[in-house]
Structure 1
């Protein structure tokens, strides 16, 4: 069999796999008993007030939510549909990158090991900024490698556009051009490209996409930059705390990627690092887009807690390396004796993936995990919306009563699941502490004299300064939302009568 025919066969297998997983994800949207999570509802609420930027993220997720809900209505399926589409597009970009760098066979097995992880299941079903980021990142890995091998201007332009669009999705995309320049600097074969204009034009062209969020931030006290700096900053005070956050980080990555796959990938990456000067060009390329970022998060995890999803963007290149090594297209010296664990690794990941898909059904009927259930926080919100609507209708001035959440999740979920999707508000303290988009938007200054239906988690007392803003605050009801296990969602409802004033931001 010729190499061309073999590549065609593996490409057909990849297309069949991608079609099957995309159709399954689409079906899953309709059958899964899960509501929109707090972050999904929060980003959807952004889409009702379109802007060039938002408190914590660039604007692309809000723009996409606005488009799909305008076309299909404000439903959980329409909000999550782009995750299925963009998740599939990102997988195809990853396959194309692996096929171009190694072969279609490596591309197919890259899809297998990447799909056989619990994290990828979430990426294809939950509408979050990581979906946009990883889609653009995977496609840019492909177009950038083409740019290095093909002098056609179109590949350079495509790379700049993908970096730029990805930057509008999540700030982490700004790392991509930096890693591109690091690779060009380290690669003897491609270092001469730094003397050509195209790498610098790619960087500058992609940065033009930052103009809208920069303009918005300039008008809002650079709030996104200050929020991002806060996430990066901070440090644990003692060694025990540092070891705890490092262990927490490692544990989260083992769970997201499946234990054996992650351990093999980390071992492979560090083994290749020891051979840095002798690495083939394509291996060095992928290592730059994988290990540099992981090392950064390893070091950061000794300083502070790391959100499990933060390093996700560095795994696509790593999955190509793992698949190439597992299929014998890449050698790693003494580590090659562990190649026999490649098949058990992706098979274990597949078992965990299937368990993840079944968990929402099992946890409601057979297995009671309580708060340890990863789906706990995204269940019960539709029922909570129904309960909230009933309590709202019972109030003496329901047409002059607005929804006030003590936490961001209360405001976002109520906005999505209440009939007619009312505008909701969040109490942020007095003076207000800007910790979400709800504080960037104007408070209920046009609701002075109205009543407020106040939501909080049970057991959370209302802040005294909030009570002062109303003529009277009356406890209404305590509600338990059945989530299918022994641990319900408990909400307290209060009626704030006659809003007298609202605190101004300093």
Structure 2
């Protein structure tokens, strides 16, 4: 059963005006988001600062992620520099593209009305409003997932090999953004079970040609991993396994609730309602196909969240199809008021987030146990300023840190200074990119160095340096009611080869 609505001639001007209005609205919100980045007072969070460091050392792979995000930030830096707003600027632009792809896909599957509201619903989803203010791998993943879905839909409609080429390109780029793109192939196989037209695509060589192209594009990253002891794959596996089995139904409930919050309660509710209707054989084939690209990802991560700790964004790839099928189901069920209500929620969330980011250093929610909700993106530039001043006063040519968070912040916020930033690992195996490429064991200081540590004991530094001077405590505010504490040491006169060793019982990020 198909639900494709053909547009007769009289409807074409209406459709064209709707496209124009959509592009205008998406352009306005994209411009607003870009301007908001300029006026935001937040610092780069740890992952963003780490990704920026990757952009300065282009490679086919990095410790925790494939390389596309580093390449993307490098391209943005070439256009507008290395400031915080520029590092984050690709995010709103990619979401602009993702929203247009959702429109194009929905037009092929349904009609212009559903396409218009699905695109807007996604663009203003609370999770997208939040994510557009940071630079993350999910931004790139969602774009290439949407592009892959569009190419798959064109193949499903009988498109030729040019759509195989596009699908292969999108799959490859998606894999270079985040390995979760691999879900797409599994979802396509499930779609083949539920939808006759998708089955024809999978049975044809057009789909498998696309998969081969995607793997070919990923091959340089595979080679990088083979040459670096499979560090990215091992790190990904460690993320999935976490700290081992911790069976908790509450984790699964929390994860599912987060999905409703990310895409919006009504669109996600519409997607689940469509799934129930599909079980009763009451939806068109287009819905079944989209459900295959949405719910399996959410279901897999939900099951995983029963067994271990998961993050809300691990099912992000399922949100594109969720927005599409949720919108289509609600409009067909004469629940357009819910579509509008979801859009209102998203707009309010966007306004609140933009306003909050401009006064983040003053925001504290008194009813929450940890009221400084911006703690993770505040204080890092101040840390850079304080360390810069102390390094200059101490004559240090190297700054030494103990944690990934501090290393990422100092690498970025000391980017225009001649001082080198290294990290002192506490065990032989690298635990992050900085321990892989900036270990003090491999880059021993040739002059005075400044150790910046959440905690450290002078007695543990004595075997390595003849001169260990305690420079006192450093307190860096990270919000109206929170701060980070550091101990500073000036290190000089090395007397023994440096080696990996714990410098304190616990290093606080």
**Shorter-chain TM-score above 0.5:** yes
Q: CA deviation at 1:235?
A: 7.3
- Spell out, residue by residue over 1:113-161, the C-alpha distance to the aligned partner (whole angstroms, 9 max, x if none): 2233331023323111111111111122112101211433222211110
Does the residue aligned with 1:309 lie in a helix, a strand or coil?
Answer: helix
What value does the CA root-mean-square deviation take over the aligned residues? 2.6
Contact 1:249 1:305 in 2 (8 A): no
**Separation of aligned partners in 2, 1:172 and 1:466:** 42
Does the residue aligned with 1:488 lie in a helix, a strand or coil?
Answer: strand
Does residue 1:453 correspond to 2:450, yes or no?
yes
Counterpart of 1:144 in structure 2 is: 152
Contact 2:472 2:487 in 1 (8 A): yes
**Separation of aligned partners in 2, 1:272 and 1:206:** 34
2:492 to 466, 491, 497: 497
Counterpart of 1:301 in structure 2 is: 305
Query: Structure 1's 298 and 474: CA in aligned 2 closer, same or farther, altered over 3 A?
Result: same
Counterpart of 1:233 in structure 2 is: 241
Does residue 1:286 correspond to 2:290, yes or no?
yes
**Separation of aligned partners in 2, 1:83 and 1:467:** 46
**Separation of aligned partners in 2, 1:419 and 1:196:** 51
2:13 to 5, 19, 23: 5
Contact 1:118 1:257 in 2 (8 A): yes
Contact 2:41 2:359 in 1 (8 A): no
TM-score (norm. length: structure 2) = 0.88
Query: Structure 1's 424 and 371: CA in aligned 2 closer, same or farther, altered over 3 A?
Result: farther
Counterpart of 2:60 in structure 1 is: 52
Q: CA deviation at 1:215?
A: 0.7
Counterpart of 1:387 in structure 2 is: 386
**Separation of aligned partners in 1, 2:451 and 2:236:** 30
Does residue 1:81 correspond to 2:124, yes or no?
no
**Separation of aligned partners in 1, 2:425 and 2:481:** 32
Q: CA deviation at 1:291?
A: 0.6
- Spell out, residue by residue over 1:95-116, the C-alpha distance to the aligned partner (whole angstroms, 9 max, x if none): 2112221122212211232233
Does the residue aligned with 1:189 lie in a helix, a strand or coil?
Answer: helix
1:352 to 346, 349, 352: 349
Query: Structure 1's 340 and 420: CA in aligned 2 closer, same or farther, altered over 3 A?
Result: closer
Query: Structure 1's 372 and 290: CA in aligned 2 closer, same or farther, altered over 3 A?
Result: farther
Counterpart of 2:317 in structure 1 is: 313
Contact 1:325 1:339 in 2 (8 A): no
Contact 2:356 2:363 in 1 (8 A): no
Query: Structure 1's 447 and 434: CA in aligned 2 closer, same or farther, altered over 3 A?
Result: closer
1:207 to 204, 210, 215: 215
Does residue 1:361 correspond to 2:358, yes or no?
yes
Counterpart of 2:103 in structure 1 is: 95
Structure 2: stretches of 5+ with no match in the other structure: 1-8, 502-509
Does the residue aligned with 1:74 lie in a helix, a strand or coil?
Answer: coil
Counterpart of 2:134 in structure 1 is: 126
1:311-460 correspondence to structure 2 within 5 Å: 311-328=315-332, 331=333, 340-365=337-362, 367-368=364-365, 371-395=370-394, 397-398=395-396, 401-418=397-414, 420-421=416-417, 422-429=419-426, 431-441=427-437, 443-444=439-440, 445-457=442-454, 460=455
Structure 1: stretches of 5+ with no match in the other structure: none
TM-score (norm. length: structure 1) = 0.89
Contact 2:42 2:377 in 1 (8 A): yes
2:30 to 22, 26, 33: 22
Contact 1:7 1:103 in 2 (8 A): no
Does the residue aligned with 1:447 lie in a helix, a strand or coil?
Answer: coil
1:262-273 correspondence to structure 2 within 5 Å: 264-265=269-270, 267-273=272-278
- Spell out, residue by residue over 1:213-267, the C-alpha distance to the aligned partner (whole angstroms, 9 max, x if none): 11111111111111111122257656xx512322332343344334x33651453
- Spell out, residue by residue over 1:299-325, the C-alpha distance to the aligned partner (whole angstroms, 9 max, x if none): 111011111211111111100111112
1:253 to 240, 248, 259: 259
Counterpart of 1:222 in structure 2 is: 230
**Separation of aligned partners in 2, 1:227 and 1:423:** 26
**Separation of aligned partners in 1, 2:356 and 2:116:** 27
- Spell out, residue by residue over 1:143-194, the C-alpha distance to the aligned partner (whole angstroms, 9 max, x if none): 2101211433222211110111111111111111222232123322342333
Query: Structure 1's 419 and 165: CA in aligned 2 closer, same or farther, altered over 3 A?
Result: closer
Query: Structure 1's 358 and 212: CA in aligned 2 closer, same or farther, altered over 3 A?
Result: same
Query: Structure 1's 90 and 372: CA in aligned 2 closer, same or farther, altered over 3 A?
Result: farther
Contact 1:481 1:488 in 2 (8 A): yes
Contact 2:444 2:498 in 1 (8 A): no
Q: CA deviation at 1:496?
A: 2.6
1:487 to 469, 482, 491: 482
